[in-house]
């Protein structure tokens, strides 16, 4: 019996220690949580409660936590500057574990607590689980990063701060056209929503621009570790421009080094999932292989225009790392809500919704200066970022800015 009690105690201590280690990494966000923990009730009185739903644990936690950081930073700035409509703002962060049921549960408990404006969630598959509920419960929902085209429709309570899938793939195609490539290749994953969606929009745009897809290869899953055969066939097809929509954790260690090892020297074009590749480079890799890699992104963290430098600096000071695009998008969502609430002069969901639905309103945000179209999707451009070997690390630089797609 003693042994059993002792082992339970040990297990408890271990769990506690792991949690303590984990939370010290994101200690700054924990402290900002606790600041508002005593008034847990709804947005009565002199505070406005904004809910958030992001994947803070599980496979997509890096993005979720960055988004939470971005939102906390925005709220801190707003509160320091006097709040919204004279009221202080308080965040209520929920975790959806990258699962649609958990996402719906989180949404329900936020609404049950009287929250009328919610930011979330990141993955399109999770956000689509709560869009109908948001309309039915008349709750404003702004998603930072759900790019699936079907998320927002006309005349509803759902808006977003990012561009849609059909735009991002098309930018890559437009860039290929602009640079004069007539034959391109694609390496993608047919079994993944994100990769497949981008492939579809890239292909459609290529047809529109008269670009020939000379070779296309697919891999089984997004965490495949061998891309040699795919890029060998790109070399055999003789293409000099390959679109490869994958995530940073496979791009860094596998896709790019193996493509170069297979003899492919042309341009590798990616999407916003390349953000974070710098942290996933294998020890001892010749960094020159990362030259000639381009990717489309929501903003350029080292940019010098608009609100970008101020945001990057504030983020670095508070969290000690460079902001990734999810952080910027979370930050923008809060400022979009602020602007809508101030325009409406109230925090009522229906008034905020009407303010956001106004297509003439211009939002000056970190990820660009834009207005929302009839469906609630921003009309904004994208930036094309390039990697380059910078001594013993990889740096990024702005290659091009695309404000709108060319017609042909």
Partner 1 sequence: MTLKKMNQKGFVVNTIVLACLFFLLALLSNTGAGKGNFFRLVLTPSLWQCGYLIILATSLNMVLGFMGQLSLCHCAFMAIGAYTAALMSLAFQRAGVFKSPKGAVFILIMFLSILCGGLLAAAFGFIVGIPALRLKGDYLAIITLGFGMIIVNVINNLPFCGQNGLAEGSAGSSLYKNGLGFGMKTKVTYLWVAILLTILAVVMMFKYVRSKFGRAIQAIRDDEIAAAASGINTAHYKVLTFAYSAFFAGIAGGLYACANGSISTSSFAFTNGGILNSTFVVVMVVLGGMGSLTGSIVAAVLMFFVNYEIKNGAWVAMLPSGIQGIFKYPMLVYAFVLIVVILFRPKGIFGDYEFSLVHVREDLAKHRALKAQEKAEMKGV
Residues that bind partner 1 (CB under 8 A): 4, 7-8, 11-12, 15-16, 18-20, 22-23, 30, 34, 37, 40, 55-59, 94-95, 97-102, 104-106, 108-109, 111-113, 124-125, 128-133, 136-137, 148, 150, 189-193, 195-197, 200, 220
Q: How many residues belong to the chain?
A: 408
Least distance in angstroms from the C-beta of 387 to partner 1? 27
Instruction: Kindly state the tokens that stand for 212.
Output: 């020939």
Give the separation between CA 338 and CA 79, rounded to whole angstroms: 11
How far, CA to CA in Å, does 241 sit from each of 106, 196, 237, 321?
43, 18, 11, 32
- Angle, helices 325-344 vs 308-319, to 10°: value is 110
Instruction: Kindly state the tokens that stand for 143.
Output: 């998603």
Give the separation between CA 257 and CA 238, rounded to whole angstroms: 19
Nearer to partner 1, 61 or 214 (CB): 61
Least distance in angstroms from the C-beta of 237 to partner 1? 24
Least distance in angstroms from the C-beta of 230 to partner 1? 17
Least distance in angstroms from the C-beta of 179 to partner 1? 28
Nearer to partner 1, 129 or 173 (CB): 129
Nearer to partner 1, 79 or 105 (CB): 105
Give every CB contact of residue 122 below 8 A, 6+ residues apart in sequence.
54, 55, 60, 63, 64, 67, 143, 144, 145, 146, 326
Nearer to partner 1, 201 or 312 (CB): 201
Least distance in angstroms from the C-beta of 226 to partner 1? 18
Answer whether 240's CB lies under 8 Å from 266's CB: yes
Nearer to partner 1, 55 or 273 (CB): 55
How far, CA to CA in Å, does 86 sit from each of 50, 115, 339, 353?
15, 18, 13, 20
Instruction: Kindly state the tokens that stand for 132.
Output: 């109908």
Output phi, psi for 117, to 5 deg: -130, 125
Least distance in angstroms from the C-beta of 282 to partner 1? 23
Least distance in angstroms from the C-beta of 53 to partner 1? 10
Nearer to partner 1, 27 or 45 (CB): 27
Least distance in angstroms from the C-beta of 100 to partner 1? 6
- Within a 10 A sphere around the Cβ of 87, how many other Cβ atoms? 16
Rg of the chain in Å (alpha carbons): 22
Answer whether 154's CB lies under 8 Å from 374's CB: yes
Nearer to partner 1, 12 or 406 (CB): 12
* Residue entry with tokens 């055969």: 229
Nearer to partner 1, 192 or 332 (CB): 192
Strands 183-189 and 158-160: unpaired
- Within a 10 A sphere around the Cβ of 351, how many other Cβ atoms? 17
């Amino acid at each position: 019996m003693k042994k059993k009690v002792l082992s339970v105690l040990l297990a408890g201590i271990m769990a506690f220690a792991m949690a303590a280690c984990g939370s010290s990494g994101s200690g700054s966000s924990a402290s900002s949580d606790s600041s508002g923990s005593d008034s847990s009730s709804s947005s009565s009185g002199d505070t406005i409660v904004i809910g958030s739903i992001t994947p803070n644990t599980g496979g997509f936690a890096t993005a979720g936590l960055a988004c939470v950081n971005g939102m906390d930073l925005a709220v801190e700035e707003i509160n320091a500057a006097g709040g919204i409509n004279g009221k202080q703002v308080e965040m209520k962060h929920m975790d959806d574990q990258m699962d649609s049921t958990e996402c719906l549960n989180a949404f329900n408990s936020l609404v049950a607590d009287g929250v009328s404006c919610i930011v979330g969630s990141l993955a399109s598959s999770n956000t689509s689980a709560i869009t109908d509920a948001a309309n039915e419960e008349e709750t404003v929902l702004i998603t930072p990063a759900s790019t699936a085209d079907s998320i927002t429709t006309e005349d509803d309570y759902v808006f977003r701060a990012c561009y849609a899938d059909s735009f991002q793939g098309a930018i890559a195609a437009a860039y290929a056209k602009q640079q004069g490539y007539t034959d391109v290749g694609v390496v993608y994953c047919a079994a993944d929503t994100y990769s497949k969606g981008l492939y579809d929009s890239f292909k459609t745009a290529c047809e529109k621009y008269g670009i020939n897809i000379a070779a296309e290869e697919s891999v089984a899953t997004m965490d495949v570790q061998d891309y040699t055969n795919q890029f060998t066939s790109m070399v055999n097809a003789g293409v000099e421009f390959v679109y490869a929509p994958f995530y940073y954790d496979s791009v860094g260690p596998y896709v790019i080094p193996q493509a170069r090892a297979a003899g492919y020297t042309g341009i590798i074009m990616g999407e916003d999932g390349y953000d974070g590749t710098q942290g996933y480079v294998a020890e001892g890799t010749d960094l020159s292989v990362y030259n000639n890699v381009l990717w489309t992104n929501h903003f350029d963290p080292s940019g010098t225009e608009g609100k970008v430098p101020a945001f990057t600096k504030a983020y670095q000071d508070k969290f000690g790392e460079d902001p990734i695009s999810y952080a910027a998008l979370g930050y923008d969502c809060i400022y979009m809500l602020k602007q809508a609430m101030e325009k409406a002069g109230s925090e009522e969901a229906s008034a905020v919704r009407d303010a956001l639905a106004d297509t003439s309103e211009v939002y000056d945000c970190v990820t660009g200066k834009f207005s929302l179209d009839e469906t609630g999707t921003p009309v904004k451009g994208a930036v094309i970022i390039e990697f380059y070997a910078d001594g013993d690390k990889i740096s990024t630089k702005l290659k091009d800015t695309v404000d709108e797609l060319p017609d042909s």
